[in-house]
Amino acid sequence: MKRVLIALEALHSNGVVHRDLKMENLMLENVNDPSSLKIIDFGLASFLNSPSMSMRCGSPGYVAPEILRYSSYGTKVDIFSLGVILYNILCGYPPFRGNNVKEIFKKNMRCNISFNTKHWLTKSENVKEIILWMCSKNPDDRCTAIQALGHPWFLPKLTDMHMASNMNELANKDMIMQKTTEYDMCKKCKHYPIENNEKGNNNNDIIQNNQNSINDYKKYHDTMLKIY
């Protein structure tokens, strides 16, 4: 999410508005590298000084209220859409839902965001606060990309540093890309890739090494849950 905000700041500072940010328009260039996240599909993008900046456009559920009011708008329509994406990522469904497009647009206009489901019980007040700020109905009350990056939820945490320390330790021990021959313990931990071992370790060593890898992955996973 930080990378997207940084990208938006670069766009906005150059007078460019995407106007159609949604889950489908954020893609990983490399599925194994979260830092390769890219914004795609600039088909509706426009310069701030363009006459098209009063055009009604965007995707249901993601579009900012000011666009639906047929009024002129600015870069903060992208911030609104990104707030919707953040909400969606954290709970698995969008904040504005309906049985048809018309219902969804109405909810976009009202801009009432609720955290009253079980999925939000374990989420921090900080993340709820930043979502509400990013999705403010009035664009004057909405944060910019730079302001969002300065919010406590996006600032480094002690747990971030702890996680980085753990990951450096794992990398030094060559545990992140464990190599095996016959046994693939990755089936229990499918996002922790293990390649074939060319050194010919015996089976007992392979099993023990893979079990260590799984335990280290669980430690990393638990750390991530504490952060996000």
DSSP label of 36: G
Respond yes or no: is residue 20 known to be catalytic: yes
Query: How far is Cα 17 from Cα 14, in angstroms, rounded to an integer?
Result: 9
Mean pLDDT in residue range 102-116: 95
Please compute, for residue 164, the number of CA atoms within 13 A of its CA located in the half-sphere on the CB side. 6
DSSP label of 16: E
Q: Round the average pLDDT of the chain to a whole number and report it.
A: 77
Give the best-scoring range by mean pLDDT among 32-41, 80-89, 153-162.
80-89
Tell me the two tokens of residue 11: 């766009």
Nearest to 78 by CA among 146, 29, 128: 146
Which of the four pLDDT bands, split at 50, 70 and 90, describes residue 173? Answer: very low
Inter-residue contact 39 to 20 (CB < 8 Å): no
Whether 164 has a pLDDT exceeding 90, the answer reads no
Q: What is the largest CA-CA distance in the chain?
A: 70
Tell me the two tokens of residue 20: 């159609």
Which of the four pLDDT bands, split at 50, 70 and 90, describes residue 35? Answer: confident
Which domains does the chain possess?
1-150 (1.10.510.10)
Say what the pLDDT of residue 34 is.
83
Tell me the two tokens of residue 186: 């990755």
Which of the four pLDDT bands, split at 50, 70 and 90, describes residue 70? Answer: confident
Whether 41 has a pLDDT exceeding 60, the answer reads yes
Query: How far is Cα 105 from Cα 62, in angstroms, rounded to an integer?
Result: 9
Mean pLDDT in residue range 43-69: 94
DSSP label of 118: G
Say what the pLDDT of residue 155 is.
86
Nearest to 83 by CA among 29, 125, 145: 145
- What's the pTM? 0.69
Mean pLDDT in residue range 105-109: 94
Whether 56 has a pLDDT exceeding 80, the answer reads yes
Say which residue the tokens 């309906």 belong to.
98
pLDDT tens string 190-222: 333 323 333 444 444 434 444 444 454 444 444
Mean pLDDT in residue range 20-37: 92
